[in-house]
Amino acid sequence: MIITYYSVGIAIDDCQFHHCVKLSKFESDRSISFIPPDGEFELMKYRTTKEITLPFRIIPLVRETVKNHMEIRVIIKAMFKATLQAQSIEVRIPIPPNTSDVKLTANKGKPKHKKGECSILWKLKKMTGGRESQLSADIELLPISEKKIKQGIKPPISMNFEVPFACSGLKVRYLKVFESKLNYSDHDVVKWVRYISKSGHYETRS
């Protein structure tokens, strides 16, 4: 199997292969040659920090309308192609620990107040590229001293998701199968490649 990248290439900071990979082949011509073990396995792990296509943009808006009351609005924008869909989307929005009541509205998905976690969990089954979704929360607060307000730390908004493309830009150019013992050629094999990116620590400060 030979891998390539988008036109300008990508910089990989760290790369680790399964022990079945022939490292000399990769070092000479950047092809990954291997004899796969039985079952599902992880062929390659890599890390990159440059030229990453972030699939979502999170826009948080927080304002205090009157004393002991605040409004939170969170907009998430899908920054990928309209032909693609993200799945298993979860947005966790932190709220003050002195929250007494929360009223939630969302144009898509199911938001829920998680009292024990001091947060709002917003779940969306899927989201099409180029679209945006919005959540609004009216929050009633219990009285708290100014000292505790200043000592409070604002945790980031976190997000979990799956998108059907490689955010790093890594792309498989072609896949070839060689098997002499079973007496079939590369043309006898049904080949396909599926790209899935899963969120790790995807966070936005408000």
56-162: same fold as 2-52+165-204?
Answer: yes
CA angle 109, 111, 114 (to 5 degrees): 150
Rounded mean pLDDT, 136-148: 82
Q: Rounded CA gap, 134 and 193, in Å?
A: 33
CATH number of 2-52+165-204: 2.60.40.1170
pLDDT tens for each residue of 26-45: 888 878 889 889 998 999 88
Residue 109 CB neighbours (<10 A): 17
> pLDDT band at residue 147, thresholds of 50, 70 and 90?
low
Structural domain boundaries of the chain?
2-52+165-204, 56-162
Provide the pLDDT for residue 190: 77
Which amino acid is present at 167?
A: C
CATH number of 56-162: 2.60.40.1170
pLDDT of 156 strictly over 70: yes
Joined together, the tokens standing for residue 177 give 């199968």
Which has the closest alpha carbon to 123: 98, 94, 91? Answer: 91
**This prediction's pTM:** 0.78
Rounded mean pLDDT, 11-40: 87
